[in-house]
Amino acid sequence: MESTMKAAVLKDLETIAIEDVPVPEPKDGEVLVEVRASALCGSDLAGYTGQHSMIKWPIILGHEASGVVAKCGRGADNWSPGDPVTIEPLFTCKKCHACRTGKYHLCSSLKFAGHQVHGTFAKYAIAESGFLHRKPENVSFEEAALTEPAASPLHAIERCDIRLGDFVVIIGSGVTGLFALQYALSKGAEVLISDPEEFKLKIAGDFGANYILNPGKQDLRKRVMAITGGIGADCVVEAVGISETLASTVSFVKGGGPILLIGYSEKESEPFDLSTVTLAELTVLGMLAYFNDFPAALKLMSLGRVKAGPIITHRLPLESVEEGIKMMKRKDQGIIKIVITYDR
Ligand SMILES: [Zn+2]
Ligand SMILES: [Zn+2]
């Protein structure tokens, strides 16, 4: 095996260089994965522009990836070279209270690939053997790279008690919203999804959304109240994370209903009206990443109940990681998910 590899290294503010770096050596319990597909994420953009509190350069970005096992560290013998896998990009201490009580995603010294340790925009990447998941044969490497962004909304939706026939509103039809939509539909809900971008609504419609709404053209609250006879939505999922959409949620969720906050922006978001939370007995739910959610996300993709393919709008080579991030920064038309693909 070669001793160096190409990697896209964030060197400085808004500066990524393609460099030859040493191929990392898997330590005890770790596995070296040859990356086959790795998707760009909003957090990569935030790291690039210096707006991500956990990302400090120099670092290889990237945390949404699939590939094949290249080499196993000591004690990682549950995998063999050649195994097709998707990477759950976490590194945990196994010792803290959260780890010992099974909530590893809340580990007090949680490390994320591409954040505190080198990530997946390279030919090879390191993962913990316990955080690899076998890729089903009928799921492509590109689709499998989206297991990570599919796992967070799965984890989040499982926190709401969605029942057959419930009316669910999802604000935001980006990657997170589009996965949340498919999960809510799988749970037998009737779903309205809103987004100002028509091409995202089109995909939501293709995925089976019962109602799509452009808030630039229609009033979301009025529409929800009209559909529900003035009662409000059984559950509201906020997948944007900005003050305006956060504040709106309390105005059309039904009394007692849950509001799930899965959108996140590092910019300050104003708190919403807490008196309404009290007086309407609302439940506000947060989410951080995922925990034991990768197997279900992969299974739903394999069964065809959840589609990742239509969410992938662009494919670029490793050399173009920076260009992809710039495309996201410029908000180029038509982008939902950019995936880095690898020649072999
Ligand atoms: Zn991500
Ligand atoms: Zn821990």
What was the pLDDT predicted at 278? 87
Judge whether residue 267 has pLDDT over 70: no
* Average pLDDT of the segment spanning 229-255: 93
Task: Please enumerate in sequence order all residues whose Cβ is within 8 A of that of 102, keeping only pairs 6 or more positions apart, or say none.
Answer: none
Domain boundaries, the chain: 4-151+290-341, 160-285
Buried b (16+ CB within 10 A) or exposed e, 288-314: ebbbebbebbbebbbeeebbbeebbeb
Give residue 95 CA to ligand 2 midpoint distance, Å: 5
What was the pLDDT predicted at 269? 65
What was the pLDDT predicted at 132? 98
Give residue 175 CA to ligand 1 midpoint distance, Å: 10
Judge whether residue 84 has pLDDT over 90: yes
Give residue 111 CA to ligand 2 midpoint distance, Å: 10
Can you tell me the distance from the alpha carbon of 180 to that of 198, in angstroms, rounded to the nearest whole number? 18
Judge whether residue 329 has pLDDT over 70: yes
What was the pLDDT predicted at 126? 98
**Cβ atoms of residues 66 and 34 within 8 Å:** no
What was the pLDDT predicted at 281? 87
Judge whether residue 250 has pLDDT over 70: yes
Q: Do domains 4-151+290-341 and 160-285 have the same CATH topology?
A: no
Which tokens belong to 171? Answer: 């604000």
* Average pLDDT of the segment spanning 233-243: 93
pLDDT level of residue 330 (50, 70, 90 thresholds): very high
* Average pLDDT of the segment spanning 4-17: 98
* Average pLDDT of the segment spanning 326-340: 96
Amino acid at 181: L
Give residue 336 CA to ligand 2 midpoint distance, Å: 33
Give residue 149 CA to ligand 1 midpoint distance, Å: 6
HEC string of 78-97 equals CCCCCCEEEECCEECCCCCH
Q: How big is the chain, counted in residues?
A: 344
Ligand that lies nearest to the alpha carbon of residue 328, given by its number in the listed order: 1
Give residue 219 CA to ligand 1 midpoint distance, Å: 30
What was the pLDDT predicted at 344? 66
**Cβ atoms of residues 28 and 4 within 8 Å:** no
Give residue 100 CA to ligand 2 midpoint distance, Å: 7
CATH code reported for the domain at 4-151+290-341: 3.90.180.10
* Average pLDDT of the segment spanning 310-318: 98
What was the pLDDT predicted at 171? 97
Predicted TM-score (pTM) of this structure:
0.95
pLDDT level of residue 273 (50, 70, 90 thresholds): confident
pLDDT digits (tens, 9 = 90+) for 89-109: 999 999 999 999 988 989 999
What was the pLDDT predicted at 119? 98
Cis geometry, peptide bond prior to residue 58 (ω within 30 degrees of 0): yes
Judge whether residue 271 has pLDDT over 90: no
Ligand that lies nearest to the alpha carbon of residue 55, given by its number in the listed order: 1
Q: What CATH homologous superfamily does 160-285 map to? A: NAD(P)-binding Rossmann-like Domain (3.40.50.720)
Judge whether residue 180 has pLDDT over 90: yes
Ligand that lies nearest to the alpha carbon of residue 107, given by its number in the listed order: 2
What was the pLDDT predicted at 102? 84
Judge whether residue 123 has pLDDT over 80: yes
pLDDT level of residue 280 (50, 70, 90 thresholds): confident
**Cβ atoms of residues 89 and 119 within 8 Å:** yes
Can you tell me the distance from the alpha carbon of 277 to that of 272, in angstroms, rounded to the nearest whole number? 9
Tokens 């849950």 map to which residue?
258
pLDDT digits (tens, 9 = 90+) for 190-206: 999 999 999 999 999 99
Give residue 243 CA to ligand 2 midpoint distance, Å: 32
Which tokens belong to 337? Answer: 């998910």
Q: Mean pLDDT across the chain, nearest whole number?
A: 95
* Average pLDDT of the segment spanning 268-279: 78
pLDDT digits (tens, 9 = 90+) for 12-71: 999 999 999 999 999 999 999 999 999 999 999 999 999 998 999 999 999 999 999 999
Which tokens belong to 285? Answer: 């739910």
pLDDT digits (tens, 9 = 90+) for 145-179: 999 999 999 999 999 989 999 999 999 999 999 99
Ligand that lies nearest to the alpha carbon of residue 337, given by its number in the listed order: 1
Ligand that lies nearest to the alpha carbon of residue 101, given by its number in the listed order: 2
Can you tell me the distance from the alpha carbon of 261 to that of 284, in angstroms, rounded to the nearest whole number? 7
Query: Does 291 or 43 have the greater pLDDT score?
Result: 43
Amino acid at 140: S
